[in-house]
Structure 1
Amino acid sequence: MTGDRARLEEERLRTVRRLADLRGDYRGFVEASKDSNADDEHDPEGTTIAFERSQVGALVRQAEAQLEEVDAALARLAAGRYGVCVDCGATIPAGRLEARPAAARCVACASTRR
């Protein structure tokens, strides 16, 4: 279990850092749009500030969801339920946990939830 905890803690740290970077990027887009009176919706040179802000906002939400998943996995580890599918109770294969340390479901249950 020590390896599992280390892998989850590493995943959590990586996600927290990514989230901090993304939030900084988002704040930058918000600040850029406040300081500019340019009509970026009609800029022929590329994407708009609003589009970029929307894209980064989506990435922030994804990182927040990932952090919640990692925290839930750490809670399952503390409760002795890590590596057990939350839907069917089957053991989650080690390879799946290695690839997705926060996985809460076995492959069969994860594929039916889509």
Structure 2
Amino acid sequence: MARLVESSRGDNADDEHDPEGQTIAFERSQLAAVTAETQERLAEVRAAVRRVVDGGYGTCEVCGRSIPDGRLEARPTATTCVEHAARR
């Protein structure tokens, strides 16, 4: 997706004079936002996998207690217990 956004960046540079320019700019912005969010989620998943490998998965990074299974099922990339997640 990032390549698609980048490759279309020069297209329709004069958006305000193109009848579809605003739509194209909006779609490009939407795609860029989705791409950034996807990259952020991927980074969270990779960090969770590292915690699995290192033995720290399921442990709150603030207090060191176990993160409840229900929280990990709902949010597998969680790094804090429910108590500390509520404080953020």
> Does the aligned pair in 1 maintain the 2:5–2:31 contact within 8 Å?
no
Runs of 4+ in 1 over 6 A off after TM superposition: none
Aligned to 2:4: 27
- 1:37–1:72 CA distance, 2 compared to 1 (3 A): closer
Shift of 1:84: 0.4
Question: Is there any run of 5+ residues in structure 1 with no aligned partner, and where?
Answer: 1-22
Secondary structure of the corresponding residue to residue 40 of structure 2: helix
* Equivalent position to 2:66, from 82, 86, 91: 91
**TM-score normalized by the length of structure 2:** 0.77
Q: For 1:1-114, what aligned pairs fall within 5 Å after superposition? A: 23=1, 27=4, 30-31=7-8, 34=11, 36=12, 39=15, 43=19, 48-113=23-88
Q: What is the CA deviation profile of residues 38-88 of structure 1, one whole-angstrom value per residue up to 9, with x for unaligned ones?
A: 745774x8x621111111111111111111111111111111111001111
% identity of equivalent residues: 43
**TM-score normalized by the length of structure 1:** 0.62
- 1:41–1:85 CA distance, 2 compared to 1 (3 A): farther
CA-atom RMSD, angstroms?
2.7
Structure holding more helix per residue = 1
